[in-house]
Each structure stands twice: as structure tokens, then as C-alpha cells.
A and B are shown apart, each in its own frame.
Chain A
């Protein structure tokens, strides 16, 4: 994987295409929260005469204001993938197609960011919260939480006077499984 700085993204992609890697394979986005405080845009291009050696470019963007130049002028097919990354991760592709791809125009949020909370589920009884041999939702010491629902002490039952929870902490507490005892 070749790491590119955001300013050099378009130039690097153009250079790679001129070098024979003229087949666009895919473009995606990864939320690196928990490891790095960034979103990573990943591009894979191929040279079909040497198809066993694809080139993977990656570019890390700030989570608060992620923006990068569009490469849809180089690979027209990348526009679809950029629109997908734009609506699911909130990345702005400068000069790209700004239309929504799959979500409602009214939808607010970035559903594939790891700190995105499934808010409607926080107030529902999760059927998996019961332990084997239980019929009612009893408060268990080994409490389980479903994926997408953060620990209430991080996200839900917080003191309103406190600052907004750290996105990394929300993401970490919303992975599902046993609720860990939190450091206070």
C-alpha cells in the first residue's frame, strides 16, 4: 500500500494511470478510529497485462473535515465509489458528483463511521441480552450489549453538563459483546 498525502492524491493517480495502471478496480473508505484518528481512502488500480500486481494507494484524512480531490476525471467509474464514500463516511470529494447515492436526501449522519450509534436501538430490549436459562431481562453482572449500541455511561445516561463523548470512546463501546468495566 502506497501512502499518499491528500494534496498529492490526484497527481499520484494520474501518474499511475500514465504508468500503465489504467484499470480502475475499486475505491473505498475505512474508519481508522481506535487505531488512528483518521479516515482512510483506499484506491486499487490494475495493469491488465500484469494483473497479478495491483497497486493500492491510500490517503488518510482528518475525521473532522475530510476532503480530497475527486479522481472521477481520471477514472470515470470511480465517481460511483466516491459518492458511496461521501454519504457513508462523510468524505467530501472536491469537484466530484455531490448527489446522494443510496440514502434518502433527508438522511443525516455517516452510517459507516464506527462512532455512529444506532440510536433507535438504545431504547429497545435486545433479545440477546438474556442469558441461557433466563426468561426475563434481569440485570446481569456480565451484561452484554449488541453491536451499534454504546455503553449507556458513555453515550446515553451521561451527565448533560459534561462535554460530548469522545468519538473513539463511543466507537470502542459500541462494538458489542460483554460490557467492560470502565475506567473512570
Chain B
């Protein structure tokens, strides 16, 4: 089998790597990425340690009607949480149907 580099078909979120840092949403020239997140206290800290919070991702959506597949989000992500996938994006009959919710969690 010849392994091939994935072509620019689709952009996937690797959710465990995402820290909700907003860098991809800010760098996107077409404003197609929207992110909701909230903070939660970190559990399991050693006793006496100062309280810490971490960001928890609630929603990550890419609007394929706006995305121009430039890959700037993939380049800019400091945690390598976005990657190219070869398959094309799913078609939709309305512009709302082209908004792909990659993560949806009630916050």
C-alpha cells in the first residue's frame, strides 16, 4: 500500500488535544470556527495546593459554507488539535446544514 498525505477535504478536531484557547477562531480569515467553553476547577490536586481551573470545551463548530480550506487553523493550533481529512465535507441543502457541530455538550 502506498500511503498518501491526506488531501484538503475536511478539517477534523482532535478533541482531547483542544484547550479552547481560541487561537484558531481568531486566526480564521473567514470567521468560520466558533467555540464555546467554560472553566471548571481542576480536581485531584494535592491537599494544600492552590485551586486551579481549566477550560472545558462545550461546542466546536465549523461553518463549511464560510470555510475556504486554507488550513491556517491547522497551522496555527499550538496543540495540534486540528488535522486534514481526505474525505470531502458533507453536502447540505441549507446554509445551517453546513455548520458542522464537532463537539456539542450542554454547558
Q: Is the CB of A132 within 8 A of B22?
A: yes
B33 surroundings in chain A (CB, below 8 A): 127
Cα distance, A130 to B34, chains bound together (Å): 9
B19 at the interface (CB under 8 A from A): yes
A80 to chain B, nearest CB (A): 24
B75 within 8 A of A: no
Size bracket of the B interface:
20 to 34
The yes or no answer to A131 lying at the interface (CB within 8 A) is: yes
Residues of A within 8 A of B107 (CB): 135
Interface residues of A in 71-95 (CB under 8 A from B): none
Chain A residues bordering chain B, tally (CB within 8 A): 13
Chain A 104-143 per-residue mask, 1 if CB under 8 angstroms from chain B, else 0: 0000000000000000010010111011111100000000
Residues from chain B with Cβ under 8 Å of A134 in the complex: 36-38
B-side contacts of A126, CB under 8 Å: 31
- When C-beta atoms are compared, the residue in chain A nearest to B107 turns out to be A135
Interface of A is mostly: loop
Closest to A126 in B: B31
Does A131 lie within 8 Å of B36, measured CB to CB?
Answer: no
**Cross-chain contact A132 with B31 (CB below 8 angstroms):** no
Asked whether any CB of chain A lies closer than 8 Å to the CB of B58, the reply is yes
* Contact residues in A for B59 (Cβ distance below 8 Å): 135
Q: Which of the residues B20, B27, B28 comes within 8 Å of A132, measured between beta carbons?
A: B20
Q: Which of B35, B58, B59 has the most CB of A within 10 A?
A: B35
Known interface pairs A127-B25, A128-B26. Does A133 touch B35 (Cβ–Cβ under 8 Å)? no
How many Å from the CB of A105 to the closest CB on chain B? 24
Asked if A146 contacts B35 (CB within 8 A), the reply is no
Residues of chain B in range 37-52 having any CB-CB distance to chain A below 8 Å: 37-39
User: Which of A121, A127, A131, A144 is in CB contact (< 8 Å) with B34?
Assistant: A127
On whether the beta carbons of B34 and A133 are closer than 8 Å, the reply is no
Cα-based distance from A128 to B28 in the complex (angstroms): 9
18 A-B pairs in the complex with CB atoms less than 8 angstroms apart:
A121-B31, A124-B31, A126-B31, A127-B33, A127-B34, A127-B35, A128-B22, A128-B27, A128-B31, A130-B35, A130-B36, A133-B55, A135-B36, A135-B38, A135-B59, A135-B107, A144-B26, A146-B26
Residues of A within 8 A of B (CB): 121, 124, 126-128, 130-135, 144, 146
